[in-house]
Every structure is written in C-alpha cells, then in structure tokens.
Structure 1
Amino acid sequence: MAARETSPRYRRNLLTCLCTTLVALSVTGCASTRNHDNIKTGSVPNMSRAYDQMNATQLASASASLGKAYEANPKDRSTGLAYANILQMTGRQAQSLAVMQQVAIAHPSDREVLAAYGKAQAAAGQLEQALGTIGRAQTPDRPDWRLFSAEGAVLDQLGRSADARNRYRMALDLQPNDPSVLSNLGMSYVLSGDLRTAETYLRTASEQPAADSRVRQNLALVVGLQGRFPEAEQIARRELAPQQADANVAYLRSMLAQQNSWKQLAAKDTDTKNTN
C-alpha cells in the first residue's frame, strides 16, 4: 500500500526541513555537479562542479568576482547564469532572481535562460510563476527532459505529487535512468512519506555511472530517516575528503536527531508498513 498523503501544512513544514538539509549538505561537501535542480545552463555545469568543491570563504570570493563581471556586463548570458547559480548556492535567492530577471529580459527566447529563470523563481518561492516560465521554455516539437524534471520539482513543492511524478517519468522516457531525475523522483516519495519507495529510486540513481555526490547524499538522508544511521554515515562519506565528509555527517546527524518533521515522517512510514 502506498503511503498516505501528508496534509498541506505538514508537507510545507517537511519541505522546508528537506530543502534546508539538502542545501546545507551541498554547501558543506558535495564534490560534483549540482543536479538536484535539474537545470543545466550553458557553461554553468562545469563551473558548478568547481563551486561544489569550495568552502564558504571560497564561495564568497567567487561570488564577489562574478558580481563584478556581472556589473560590467549584465546582459552577458554565461556570466549572468553563473552568478545567479552561485547566489542560490550561498542562500541569496532574491538577488539570484533579480539577476535572472535581467538575463531573461536580455535573452527572452533562450529556453535555457528561461529554464534557469524558472529555477530562480521556484527557489524564491514564486512557484506558480516558475511553472509558467518553465512551460514557456518547453516546446512540444523539441521536448527537453531537464525541463520536465524541473517542472516536476516545482509541482512537488506545490503538493501535486501525482503530476510531479508524471513529469519525472516523462523526463525518464527521454533520458532513461538519468540519476538526477531518479533522485528527484525518490525525493518526491520522501515528501509523501513513502521512505521505502524513495530508497528504491535513490539506490537506482546512485548506481548510475553519471551519479554525483548529491544523489548519494540524498540516499544517505533517506537511509538515516529509516533509523539505519551507520549505513547512512557510510554512504555520506563516500568520495568526499575527510573534512567535507565529517561536515556532512555532522549535519546529517543534527537534522535526524533534532527535526520533529523527520521524526514524524519516520513514524508515518512505520505506520504505513504496519498497514501492509
């Protein structure tokens, strides 16, 4: 039996907790491409890979350098995309959205720019606007799997899990076994309290050759939510430098121990098992 749907208020609280966890994990240690949001824009993925290996001080320095480049030429597509991306990584969602607004004005028909703009809108809480922007970026004759997955992520935040999973599966039809889409699909089941299904998708995602550390951190989180802390720590430490791994594990332990939302979710999943 599938897990029962969570209430809108519970889902909002859980989503806030979930997003906080993932952002903190990524900033402290994920050492590969940031694919959780499933938006790749021009040269940004390669730059993001470098950013993910930076500590907070290095990120601040990179942000300052990109800020100067953006001020010198705010219409430059690559600079604007990179600057908006690093602003999101450092928690400056409103500023990231403002940057992407300017880039979108300068490149109104660029679907990758529109996709990144939609991502920035979603990160800033403008979910309905994000859906509209991503929809304008998508074209029926040339559907983009990344846009389907991005749309799914927004729909999940709106509580429309069935629609979200439909979009993820549409993305997988175009890009079979993509680890970032499988990871998003797994996290969708986390939001509805079905941890076992979530783990199945996240394990499949982590086994893909292109899987990055973000995917494995998501898997570690879901394993930890089910009370298997040693296994979760082992997953969280893979591929990371000792200092980064320690930071990730410490934060993972903190979130699992202190957040009531996680405890409620674990209890909910236990109740679901008992009804099967």
Structure 2
Amino acid sequence: MAADGEQSASRRRGRGMTGSQDPHTSVYQRPTSRERPMGRADASPHTDGYRFDEGMIDPPRSSSSVVRFTNTQAPRYSGSQPVNAAVPTRRQGQGMTRDLPPQMRQTGHTGRQPRLPVQPPPSYTTSSTTKTTRPSKPPVTEKPQRRVHWLLPAGVGMVAMLVLWVLGSTVLAWGVTRYNDFKYGYPRTFHTDAVVGHGDSELHKSHFMAINYNHQAVIFEMMGGDTGAGKSISYVVNLISSDNDDLAPVTLDFKDLNGDKKPDMIVHVHLSNQDQVSVFINDGKKFRPATSNDKLTAPIN
C-alpha cells in the first residue's frame, strides 16, 4: 500500500509539473509579463527541448502588398486547448536567442517570421536555355538612279541664256544712254567743221550743228569764208517714231556720192533699234534732199 501511495503521489507531481509551473521548484522560472505560460497545448514533439515560436510554422506571407482585413484561414487547435482560447502575442527578448535553434540564431531571429526571398514573376525570369534571336534587318536595296532627260539641261541652259540676254541688253542700253549723256548732252547735240564749197576754205571752214529736237533732226550750217560769213541755213529730217527717239544722237558725215567732185551731206540718226540715214546732195550753194533721179555711185556708209 505504501508503494501504491508513493506512485500515485509521483503521478500527481508529474501532472502538476506538466500542466502548470510550480512556484517552489528551481527548474522553471517564474514567467514574466512578456512570456506566455507554456501548457500542454504549446508542447510540440518537434521542439527538442527549445522554446519555439508559433510563427515559424505559420504559412509564408503573400508576396502581394494588399492588406487582408479578414483572415480566411482557420486557427489551429490541439486536443487539450480550448476552442475559444485567444493566443496572446509573444515577444522574446534579446537574452532568449540562446534557446533558439542554431539556424535561427545565425539569422538573428527575434520572434518574427523570417522574410522569405521574393521570387520575380515568371514573365521576368531569365532562362539560360532560352535564346532570344533578334529579327534580322531586311536587305537594303539601292534605288536605281534616275537618268535625267537631255531636254532638262537644254531647257535650263536656254532659260539661263534668255535671262542673261535680257539682263545684258538692259545693262547695255543703260550704259549707252549714260555715254550719250556724257558725249552729246541733252538734247542731243553734234558739232563739226567741214569745207563744202559754199564760199569757205581750209582757213575758214563752215560750221555745222545737228540737234535732236522735238522728234526732229535739225541741222544748222553756218557758212565760212568772206562771201558766206554770217549766213546760216537749216535742214530738217523727220525721225522715225520709236521709243526714246529723243535720246538718239544725230551725227553728220560728208562724202561725194554722185561723182560731181562736191561733198554731199549724210545725216545719221542713231536710234535704239536701227540707224536712220538721210542724204543731202550738194548743188554748189547749199544742200538739197536726194531724189530718185540722183544716181549715187559711192556707198553711203
């Protein structure tokens, strides 16, 4: 009977030690405010005597950053733990890391679940076996050179020559006008002396003056010598109507045209497009306009 009493007493002590902590024993320490008393529900055959955090066996966290307000996972219950018992959050101090497994000590686990490496999405993973081939560039085909028709340079050359001709004509006309202004003045006036046999001589030549005035060429002869001194005769030549004919200078030339040994008078009107020539026959006293009956044996020019 004494043996049965001692065995029952040892069983009661074992139940008390496993169910709760004995304040009089030296094996267990009094739990602090941060530690949760360990019961039979917390004991696990996989701890090997170490105090293990329940968070290590929880499922891994989701890689998404969305916060779930409703926990859809059912809580785990052991056979001896009440269903409605709330599990308080357990925090472990720095001095308790010696009771953790070596793997947890190396990673510096302090009671929180270790962060698992986040794998990139499959679309961003690179595979060493997959080879990406760049699309080959299409072959560059040289465009055939366009041949220029021979009419194009010929036409361009003709247009350029036409422009140059117009510009050259304009510049030439302007230059001739400026030259006539300098030489003949305005109105255009020409002076010359000649011996024509009207009482003049080599010592006393007759003086001639031609003026382009009011679309007419007016020639004044002032006789020289003793007999004709102080006398003057005028001759008029009507000009052919043309543009700027009042700017055309009038010049005189003396030459025997009919072979009578007397110099005849030739009037030149230098128009812009042509020269107007008029012939006056010398009759020994003055000049008269030539007629169809006069036979001119010498060239005028």
TM-score (normalizing by structure 2): 0.18
Greater share of helix: 1
User: Which one scores higher on RCO, CA 8 angstroms, separation ≥ 6?
Assistant: 1
TM-score (normalizing by structure 1): 0.19
Greater share of strand: 2
